[in-house]
Amino acid sequence: MYLSVIKVSVPVAEVVGVEEGRVEILPRKSVEDTDKDFTVFYVKRSSSGSSYGLLWRLGRIQFSCPSRVLRDQWTKHLRTALKTHSPLRPNRLLVFINPFGGKKKGRKIYHSLVAPLFELAGISSHVIVTERANQARDHLLKKDLKGFDGVVCVGGDGMFSEILHGLIGRTQQEAGLSENDPTVALQPCPLHIGIIPAGSTDCVCYATVGVIDPVTSALHIIIGDSQPLDVCSVHQASALMRYSVSLLGYGFYGDVLAESEKHRWMGPLRYDYSGTMVYLSNRSYAGIVQYLPADPLLSSPRDRTRCLSGRVYTHVEGRFRCVSLTCMSSSCPKSPLGLSPSAHLADGTGDLILVWDTHPLGFLKFLYRHTSTQDQFDLPFVEVHRVKAVRFSLPSEMTNEQKMATPFLCGLCCSKVPAKSVWNCDGEILSSTEILCRIHGQLVRLYARGIEEGAAVHNCGKENDKCQMGCTLIK
Ligand SMILES: Nc1ncnc2c1ncn2[C@@H]1O[C@H](COP(=O)(O)OP(=O)(O)OP(=O)(O)O)[C@@H](O)[C@H]1O
């Protein structure tokens, strides 16, 4: 007969909680109250089965001591170690649940999968189930937030955006800064944001955690992981329009969003349908793009370094299939490496992607490459620049009538092709076409850690394991 001993090493930072007795938490809590036993819960990794991130699960080990006194000493010391080793672990969280997000399972996801883990970790949470859009944003702007370490949203990207706007707005109010001033240096938010994915689009969660999985996200929150994130402010003249973290897209991406809004009844399928329809309409739009290049020595979206002598705006003008700006890779299950695979989450820059007008097959190739590991920038009609700010305007020869016209007309059933598109700002249509965008470095912090080593092929291009910009190089 062979006896095998399994050795498990767990960093203190990844211990979730310690309970007296023989305890089980998920799928249901059960406690066998014995005198000499205790149970340690920790973060256990498992493959997600997909090509991207790692799933985190609640691991569990039971220990038996010779006496109750010794057992109590162990549990006391372990609990103290958790507090001292991980100062960013939250004690109190404000949780907003969107009961209508995605498949309308937000409440169930929170109460069955997340709340038991928070309880195990000794986190107290104040839960608000929203009754209307923008309730979470308004709460964050106006209500007392004292005593909270972080804000958690249970929902999709729209819900995250509400939290983002509420927290940034509140922080600037308290600092006496005007968000409408596009030149102001915004104050970073003191509260962390946690995302429990429960929407129909969970791109921010995917790009910052690597998987769309409520238990994985809850465990990142519990152990107090901290991932800074750049945010792009979008102004029209001297009025703030919105903040964006993932996609700000004009042309193709704007048209797809506008078209998909007309077919909400189709559910998530509406994006595939609208993408096909907009592609078939074969449009390009005239525009002027001015961009402020980032320091090329800091980082580059391609691996070739370029030297720029001055810190002045570069001006390009012409017809574009699309103009996109992203502060993160914007990866999602359909595009595992994302819009800009080497974009950093927290280096204070964004990647500007200019896709010049081209023949339909060329554009199809560009779109198709997003679903594979082929370089979508390695095409003669595509340019990518790492930038700090971008201005977009319409050509002066466009008539006022064209500039003021309803931005989106269906080019398939309407005979007149529209002269301008709309901006898609993280899934919301902007009411202005002429905008100024500025990247604010590390304006918010998420309970996340980027994509973990061993989780995916990530083309970061940095030599060190953990690049300073918040991305992890996967070997
Ligand atoms: N109780 C509510 N009733 C209606 N809308 C709400 C409520 N709570 C939040 N919202 C709004 O619902 C929008 C979508 O929410 P969320 O991102 O959670 O779900 P989603 O299914 O991913 O969204 P989408 O329908 O945009 O794909 C958000 O912009 C949010 O402001």
Q: What is the CATH number of the domain that holds 72?
A: 2.30.29
User: Ligand 1: which of 159, 193, 274 to mutate, most ligand atoms within 8 Å of CB?
Assistant: 159
Residue to probe by mutation, ligand 1, list 95, 96, 97, 100, most atoms within 8 Å of CB: 100
Q: State the pLDDT at residue 298.
A: 54
Helices and strands per DSSP (H, E), number in the chain: 11, 19
pLDDT at 102: 84
Q: Is 469 among the domain residues?
A: no
Looking at residue 3, its pLDDT comes to: 45
User: Could you tell me the CATH number of the domain that includes residue 276?
Assistant: 2.60.200.40
Q: Any catalytic annotation for residue 37?
A: no
Amino acid at 256: V
Does 145 fall in a domain?
Answer: yes
Task: Tell the residue nearest (CA) to atom 5 of ligand 1.
Answer: 133
Is the Cβ atom of 12 under 6 angstroms away from ligand 1? no
Cβ contacts of 252 within 8 Å, gap of 6 or more: 278, 279, 283, 321, 322, 355, 363, 367
Are 311 and 354 in the same domain?
Answer: yes
289 lines ligand 1 (CB under 6 A): no
Number of structural domains in the chain: 3
From 37, 157, 225, 230, the catalytic residue: 157
How close is the Cα of 320 to the center of ligand 1, in Å? 31
**Alpha carbon nearest to ligand 1 atom 6, residue:** 133
Q: Calculate how far, in angstroms, residue 159's C-alpha sits from the geometric centre of ligand 1.
A: 6
Domain of 226: which CATH number?
3.40.50.10330
pLDDT digits (tens, 9 = 90+) for 301-328: 664 444 434 468 999 999 999 999 999 8
22, amino acid identity: R
Answer yes or no: do 340 and 390 share one domain.
Answer: yes
Residues of the chain with pLDDT under 50: 1-3, 51, 303-310, 456-475
Our answer on whether the CB atom of 37 is closer than 6 Å to any ligand 1 atom is: no
CB 228 within 8 A of CB 408: no
Are 313 and 221 within one domain?
Answer: no
Answer positive or negative: Cα dihedral of 425, 321, 336, 474.
Answer: negative
Using the mean position of ligand 1's atoms as its centre, give its distance from the Cα of residue 59 in Å.
Answer: 33
CB 342 within 8 A of CB 460: yes
What is the pLDDT at residue 340?
83
The pTM of this model reads: 0.87
Which of 151, 159, 162, 167 has the alpha carbon at shortest distance from 100?
159
The answer on 79 and 38 residing in a single domain is: yes
> What is the number of the ligand 1 atom nearest to the C-alpha of 153?
18
The closest residue, in CA terms, to atom 2 on ligand 1 is: 132
pLDDT value for 453:
59
Q: Is 106 in the pocket of ligand 1 (CB under 6 A)?
A: no
Same domain, 24 and 171: no
**Which residue range is the domain that position 366 belongs to?**
236-440
Contacts of 438 (CB under 8 A, 6+ apart): 182, 232, 233, 235, 388, 389
67 belongs to a structural domain = yes
**133 Cβ inside 6 Å of ligand 1:** yes
Inside any domain, residue 454 = no
Query: Cβ distance 191 to 150 under 8 Å?
Result: yes
Domain assignment present for 338: yes
- Spacing, Cα 6 to ligand 1 middle (Å): 46
471 lies in some domain: no
* Exposed e or buried b per residue across 324-346, where buried means at least 16 C-beta atoms within 10 angstroms of its C-beta: bbbbbbbbbeebbbbbbbbbbbb
* Distance in Å, CA 156 to ligand 1 centroid: 7
Q: What percent of the chain has pLDDT over 90?
A: 66
Q: Give the per-residue pLDDT at 187.
A: 97
Question: 162 alpha carbon to ligand 1 midpoint, in Å?
Answer: 9
